[in-house]
Structure formats: C-alpha cells, structure tokens
Chains A and B, each alone.
Chain A
C-alpha cells in the first residue's frame, strides 16, 4: 500500500512513542497537520514558535524523554532558533521539525522560504533537509537516536511540502547506518586513568566533587554520586545545571558554586587538593578566571564528551563515558575515607558564611518568596526559572534534592524560557506541582503562552518576582557602571493581574510579606494556571557575587 510522507511522518512518531508534541502550523505543514487531525498524538498549540520549542525542551528535561516540536517554514522556523540554541547549550534531547517550501521552489526566494538547514547548523547536534520521501523514515529514526544518545542535543529536520504529499511504498524499519564513534581511550589507557584516579582519591586530604548537568542526564547517576560521596566522604558542589544531582539537604552538599555560588562551595574549591568534575564543562560562570580556579588541586574530569576534557582547564586524569557508569565504577572501587579535618573546616565555613538576605519591615524580599515556595511545596515541586536575578535566587534558596526538578536555561541564559518550559514540564509530569520562578522582564518575553496554559488546562504557577527592573543587568550597572541604569527600568509594565484574567487565569497580587505564604498556598490549591505578582524589594541584589573574570573565592557581599 502506498503512503504519503505525512502519513509516514505520523506513523514514525508513534513508533518512537511520541504521544505529545508542541507546535504551530503553517501553509507548508498542511499535509502533516491534516494527518495529525485524527492521530493519537496530543498536539499542544503554542502562541509563538519559541513557546513551542521551550515547552518541548522543558518536557524533555522533566521526563528524560525526547521533546518534539514543529514549526512552519520561514519565520516559523527562524522563531525556533533561540530554542534550539538553548537546548544545544544545555544538551537537551529535542527533535524539531520545520516545514519547508516544495523542493522545486527551494533556493529561489519563495514565499516563506528560509534556509533553516544552514541557519541551524551551529545550534543543533545534527540537522537534515529531507528532499526525498523515501529518506524520511530513516532520517527520523536517526534523529531520535542522535538526540538522546551520547551527549544529548537538539536535532532539526526540514520537511519540504512535496515530501509530505508524495506517495511511496510503505518503507521498512530502517537499520541505522550512522558512523560508529570510536572510544576515546583504549582499554589499557582507561585502566591506567582509573588506577590514577583511585590513587588520587586515596591520597587526597581535601577532596571536592564538582557535579554538572551530566549527572542529571545520565539516569541513576545521582544514586552512584551519593554512594561515592558518602563512601569516600567527599563534599559535593553542584552547578546550576547539576542542581538536583546531589541532595542539597545532605550534610556533604556545598550547594552551588561559581559566580553566585555559596561562599563555602567557592572556598572549598579554592582550597581543595582534589577536584573531581563529573558531567560538567568548566563554564566561565563556574570558574571565574580559569587560571585561578582550584589552583591547589589535582583535577579529574569524568565526561561523556572527550572534547570537554582539556577545553578550559588541563586535567590530571580523565575517564570518558556515561556519568552513571563512571560513578558506579568509582563508588565500587574506592576505599572508604574519613577526611574529618576537611569536613569540619567546611562545616565551619557553612556556619560563618551562610546564604542570607536582609529582612526589611514591610518589604517583600525576593529570596523569602523562593523560601516560601520551597516550604509550601515541601521541596517537592518542579521549579523552572526565567533568567537573571530570579534564576539565581531560585538556585540559591530552593534546595533541590532530586534530578529533573530544577529546570533552567543555564548555558544560553534565555529570557522567556521558564514559563513555556513549565508548561512542557507539567504536561510531562502532570502529578507534580510546577512553579515558574519568574522576573517581570523575562515573563513578558513569552507571556502569550498564558493562552496555551489556560486552554490546555496546564496547571502551572508563575511566581513573578516583580521589581520593575531588568534586575541582573541593573545590578551590574549599580556595581560596575556607576549606578547609571541605562534601559533597565521596566516602565510601562502591565497590570499582571488583568493580563492573567484576560487570558482566563487567576491573578494574585502580593504587596506585603505577611501575605506571601497564603498566596502560595492558594495558588497551589487552585486547579488552574495562577500568576502571582509579588511586588518585591526593587533594588535587592544577588549575593554573594564573584566579579566577572575574577577568582571565585574573592566574592562581593552586600554592604551592611
């Protein structure tokens, strides 16, 4: 029996277990959307293509499955670019489909034609322009495999309209013909590295584990990490992407390190004699000036991507592979250690330099809002964040204990990410409470997705830490640009309550600290999207802070 490309497309999605996707139709996608009309796939119509891809990304991060999104040709496709770059920087498995003009119209500046294949090369793990229907099924199999295998990432498939309508014989299930990756280390070298790491751990007096997003992505890696840390008594600091990879309530947890990390995490890194990086890539927001980073330490790097080893910092030993496998192997082989002196030094730092913020009479501290969300959800919520101060306060004050519960645009720092990502996360994990911790600036970047959430009954909560500023940029202007607040005052902010109501969501305005807990309780009780507009201290800053390009143990704090 002959089948159209559109039919093959839908069948291949189903073969990959896709039951949810996010998208926005257009002229060249009509054949596929016609096929989706009666397909057993839940298609969430966003209000902007960027909303669709961030939602697919949030779905992927919350569930561990591949997120799927679709946009039409030209402007629809280019609207995906920020979402692709976001997923690429944070290694998120997303498969994005774009419609394209028919093959005979390619390359002649046809209506709504954009070279999304060329545009998306630097922001995808791989991408395809499918010119023959006979290739479609094979390409989709490859794409789903590539998105989730090895170091995950987004894959884009561009689908000309005629490729969707041409009928061909039902294609067989393809055998993958992708080039095989060769292992980075040969077995002898691998054994040598492993022995070296074990002896470094044996000799270390002041070890620290620095865990990144790889610990979240590699299923069960967090269990092995906990076992390793406890057995060898090694304190663990997690990056923004690694939050949830090690319980922040654990006595060995140092919280987050880096530019807005805890003092005790940064001091521990500065003073440690062994730093074990796992699933992390020595980002500049973590290291500050790399030549000053962990200067007293031997450095071990465990990562799935050999290109990350030695990219920023030269290491003393490395292993390449899944974080779970490497951590399990180390946890099995390592000898129990104590490190009492080191652990008590860290405990002293924790007592001396806890995260703290001023409590002002009658003014809502943004950090207090985050603490209350943590309290009222008993730490069980999935948190997404926007980008800026809201993101850093969320990272500092919401103690993550499980993987896939802290969802944020770390690498690209994409404003407007958190709300659509929350929609995707809630659809993927309907039994969890999902809070987007937002800023008034970021939230407005994809505020139109309120329609998506309300119409589809996606029960997400948006907590706006409304300070009337682009807060993080303003903070830098205050500290480094003589308080000249150039273009960071958000004059003309809307009434968020009316906006919420206009879309059919519930809006709650909170202006007094004593109303914060009850507002959060009420939002949680509602079986409906809720926007809570917290009017917070407008000039509160994120501290501690490492000035850009500095050493991470030289931190600024608020002047008392």
Chain B
C-alpha cells in the first residue's frame, strides 16, 4: 500500500538529514520525497510517498512525529488530496515524428519548452497517473532524459 505523508518541519539546515535518516535507519521504503517552503518561511513541507501496510504506516507516523523539528504529520488519503508532480521530458524526434510528439503534448496540455533538430523537451505537471500516461505514449519515440520532482500534495478542503 502506498501512502502520502505530509510533514511540516522547522526550516533549518540539517532538518532533511534528520527526516531522511529516520527512514533509512528504520528501513521504511520511500518512493519519493519532495521538500519546499510553505506560506510561512520558517516552515518547510515535506511530502513523502511511502509503501507499507497499515502497521508500517502507523510506525512511520509515530516515529516521524517524534522528531524534534516536526510540527505536524498528516496521512493524506489519495482520494481526499490534491496531488501534483512536475516532469521535464526530452524526447528523441525526427522530421517525421516531430509532429506526432507535439500532437501528444497538446492532448496532455504539456508545454514544449525546448526543441533541437532531433529532440523536443516537454514540461508537464499533473497527477502521477497523467504523467505515466504521457510517458507511455512518448516511450516509443525514445525518451532520452527525464527529471521529476516527486509528488507534492495538500488535503482537499472541499472534501473535509
């Protein structure tokens, strides 16, 4: 089972080491981790996607909550969270395939951010599923490089 855990921490050098170190030490599996500042410059939000059963999730939450820098830990339910990830993808193209790649990009609302004789670089933000669908369609052309941010998420206020 995958879980999205949203952790608010005091923003200072070293805080990421404490959080990441805990996951390493306790052998929890992190799928992705994204950190960035919040509306409050003293507070960083770390979004962690972790795999494990309910018992593992319970332990992860409790252990993270014990860290001195942690202000709050929330288990975000997938269906009650807004999740987004940003990807930058460079696809191999030829004169013949360039049009098809742009067509796919348009369907997904991905932006063309760079183009060379034999590549196109696309930018897309969306849910994990949208990103995966785009990648599946681009794969046959050959993805030469890709960078992803890891998931960030917030609780959906309208479903509270």
Residues of A within 8 A of B (CB): 117-118, 121-122, 125-126, 129, 146, 178-179, 305-307, 309-311
A146 neighbours in B (Cβ, 8 Å): 68
Contacts A307-B62, A310-B55, A311-B59; A179 near B14 (Cβ below 8 A): no
| B6: min CB distance to chain A, Å | 16
B128 neighbours in A (Cβ, 8 Å): none
B70 neighbours in A (Cβ, 8 Å): 179
**In the bound complex, what is the Cα–Cα distance between A121 and B17 (angstroms)?**
8
Which chain B residue shows the least CB distance to A150? B66
| B40: min CB distance to chain A, Å | 13
Cross-chain contact of A125 among B25, B68, B71 (Cβ < 8 A): B68
**In the bound complex, what is the Cα–Cα distance between A354 and B65 (angstroms)?**
44
Contacts A129-B14, A179-B10, A310-B55; A122 near B21 (Cβ below 8 A): yes
| A199: min CB distance to chain B, Å | 25
Q: Does residue B58 face the partner (Cβ distance < 8 Å to A)?
A: yes
Main secondary structure of the interface of B (DSSP, over half): helix
Which chain A residue shows the least CB distance to B24? A122
**In the bound complex, what is the Cα–Cα distance between A125 and B66 (angstroms)?**
9
Contact with A along B108-121 (1 / 0, CB 8 A): 00000000000000
**In the bound complex, what is the Cα–Cα distance between A129 and B17 (angstroms)?**
13
Cross-chain contact of A179 among B18, B21, B69 (Cβ < 8 A): B69
Q: Decide if A179 touches B71 in the complex (CB within 8 Å).
A: yes
The 7 A-B residue pairs whose C-beta atoms are closest, nearest first, are: A307-B62, A126-B68, A121-B21, A122-B25, A179-B71, A307-B63, A306-B62
| B38: min CB distance to chain A, Å | 15
A179 neighbours in B (Cβ, 8 Å): 10, 68-71
**In the bound complex, what is the Cα–Cα distance between A49 and B44 (angstroms)?**
37
Which chain A residue shows the least CB distance to B69? A179
**In the bound complex, what is the Cα–Cα distance between A307 and B70 (angstroms)?**
15
Contacts A307-B62, A311-B59; A117 near B68 (Cβ below 8 A): no
| B17: min CB distance to chain A, Å | 6
Interface residues of B in 64-92 (CB under 8 A from A): 65-66, 68-71
Which chain A residue shows the least CB distance to B66? A307
| A540: min CB distance to chain B, Å | 38
**In the bound complex, what is the Cα–Cα distance between A179 and B58 (angstroms)?**
21
**In the bound complex, what is the Cα–Cα distance between A125 and B69 (angstroms)?**
11
Max chain B Cβ within 10 angstroms of own Cβ: one of A117, A122, A125: A122
